[in-house]
Amino acid sequence: MDKKIKVGILGAGRIGKLHAENVAYRIPMMEIKTIADPYMNEGMEAWARGIGVDNVTKDPQEVFGDPEIDAVLICSSTDTHAEFIMKAAEAGKHIFCEKPVDHDVDQINRALKAVEVAGVKLQIGFVRRFDHNHKKVRDMVQGGKIGAPHTIKITSRDPEPPPIEYVKVSGGLFFDMMIHDFDMARYLSGSEVVEVYAKAAVLIDPAIGEAGDVDTAVVTLQFANGAIGIIDNSRSSTYGYDQRVEVHGSKGCVQDFNDLPSTTILTTKEGVLGDPPKWFFLERYNEAFAEELIAFADAINGDKEPVVNGADGLKPVLIAEAANISLREGRPVRLDEL
C-alpha cells in the first residue's frame, strides 16, 4: 500500500461527517489529520473522537497551514467552496470539493486557475458517477454496446422536499438538485450540452414557490453530438430516491433501475409487494461515496487527472444557469449565449 494520505476535512455537517466516517472505516489509504468546522462544539468533538480523530478546530487555517496534511475535503457551505479551493491550492494541497463549486462562473474560473497554477489535483463530488449502476450504463455506452447515443433520459426524484430554510439558500432546484443530472447527462452522453429548455412548476408545496423556487421540473437538452436529453426532477417522490437513467442508441438501449433494500417480495391476493427504492442518497450512494474518495486517493497516489475534474465542476453550473434563463424567459437557451 502507498503511504496513507493525510487529509483535513473542512465542514462537519451531514456530508462532511459522511466522508469522515468513510475515511475512518472504509478507506485504508487515507487518514484524517484534522477536522475544521466553524460550528465545532462538544457534540461534534465527541463524534470526531468516536471515529478516532482528536484534532478538531473552528479555524480552517489549521488545515491549510499544516504541512503534514496532503489533501483537503471541502464539505463546507457552497459559498466557501471557491475560496477554500484557492487557499488549499496555494498551500499545495490536493482538493476534493463537494458540488457545486460555486454559482458564479467567474468565481469558479478563478478557483480552477489557482488549481492549475498550483498543479494540485482537484476532484468534484459528483458522486453519482461512482454508482455501480450508472457507471455500468456509462461503460456500456462508452464500449459501443448501444452504438451512437440518440436519447438520454434521466429520472431523479428526491423522496421529500428539504426544509424551506434550505430551499431559500439552495440556489434553486437547477443549481442544487438537477446539477447532478447535468453532470450525469455529460457523463452518459460523452458529449457537451449546447442548448437547454426548462419547464417547471410548483406542484408539491406552495411555500417552495413563495421562496422563489420550483419543485417539479423537466429539462430538454441538445448535445453537441446530436443526441437529445431529458431530465425530470421532483422534490417529492414520497416513496424514496428515484434514480434511473436510460440511454437509447443506434444499436439498442441501456438503462438502470433503483437499488432496493431487499429483493424480497410478498405475494398475496392483493398482488406482489416488494420494497420501495432505497430512501435517499445516503442509502443509494453509500458505496459510491467511498468509491469517489478511493478514486481521489488513486489520482493522488498515481499522479493522474481526477475522473471528475475542475472542468467537470464548471460545465453543469453553466447548464444550470441556462436552465434558469430558459425557465424565466420561456424559451430554449443556447450555452454559447451565456
Residue 6 engages a copy of itself in binding (rule: CB under 8 A): no
- Out of 164, 201, 224, 338, the only residue in the binding site for a copy of itself (CB under 8 A) is 201
Report the distance separating Cα 338 and Cα 196, nearest Å: 12
Q: What one-letter code names the amino acid at 30?
A: M
* 61 scored as a contact of a copy of itself (CB under 8 A): no
- Minimal distance, residue 20 CB to a copy of itself, in Å: 13
Distances (CA, A) of 202 to 19, 215, 217, 283, 324: 33, 5, 9, 27, 15
Determine, following the binding rule CB under 8 A, whether residue 197 of this chain makes contact with a copy of itself.
Answer: yes
Helices 105-118, 310-329: axis angle to 10 degrees equals 170
Residue 75 C-beta: closest distance to a copy of itself, Å: 21
CB of 78 to a copy of itself, least distance (A): 27
What part of residues 79-118 is at the interface with a copy of itself (CB under 8 A)?
A: none
Cα dihedral value 260, 135, 200, 213, nearest 10: 80
Q: Are strands 5-10 and 122-124 parallel, antiparallel or unpaired?
A: unpaired
The reply on whether position 203 binds a copy of itself by CB under 8 A is yes
Dihedral through CA 175, CA 178, CA 182, CA 185, nearest 10? 180
- Is there a contact between 101 and 315 (Cβ–Cβ < 8 Å)? no
The answer to whether residues 58 and 40 touch, using CB atoms and an 8 Å cutoff, is: yes
Contact 95, 71 (CB under 8 A): yes
State the minimum distance, in angstroms, from the CB of residue 220 to a copy of itself.
5
Residue 332 contacts a copy of itself per CB under 8 A: yes
Interface with a copy of itself in residues 21-60 (CB under 8 A): 25-26, 28, 50-51
292 scored as a contact of a copy of itself (CB under 8 A): no
Among the listed residues 272, 302, 303, 337, the single contact to a copy of itself using CB under 8 A: 272
Q: What is the pattern of x (binds a copy of itself, CB under 8 A) and - over residues 132-151?
A: xx-xxx--x----xx-x-xx
Q: Per CB under 8 A, which of residues 240..259 are in contact with a copy of itself?
A: 240, 242, 248, 250-259
Restricted to residues 209-228, the positions that interact with a copy of itself (CB under 8 A) are 216-218, 220, 222, 226-228
Q: Which is nearer to a copy of itself, 76 or 222 (CB)?
A: 222
291 binds a copy of itself (CB under 8 A): no
Smaller CB separation from a copy of itself, 168 or 244? 244
CA distance 195 to 188: 17
Minimum CB separation of residue 154 from a copy of itself in Å reads: 11
Q: Which residues of 132-161 are buried (b: 16+ CB within 10 A; e: fewer)?
A: ebbbebbebbeeeebeebbebbbbbbbbeb
Q: Which is nearer to a copy of itself, 115 or 327 (CB)?
A: 327
Nearer to a copy of itself, 114 or 333 (CB): 333
The pair phi, psi for residue 290, each rounded to 5°, is: -70, -40
Which H/E stretch holds residue 310? helix 310-329
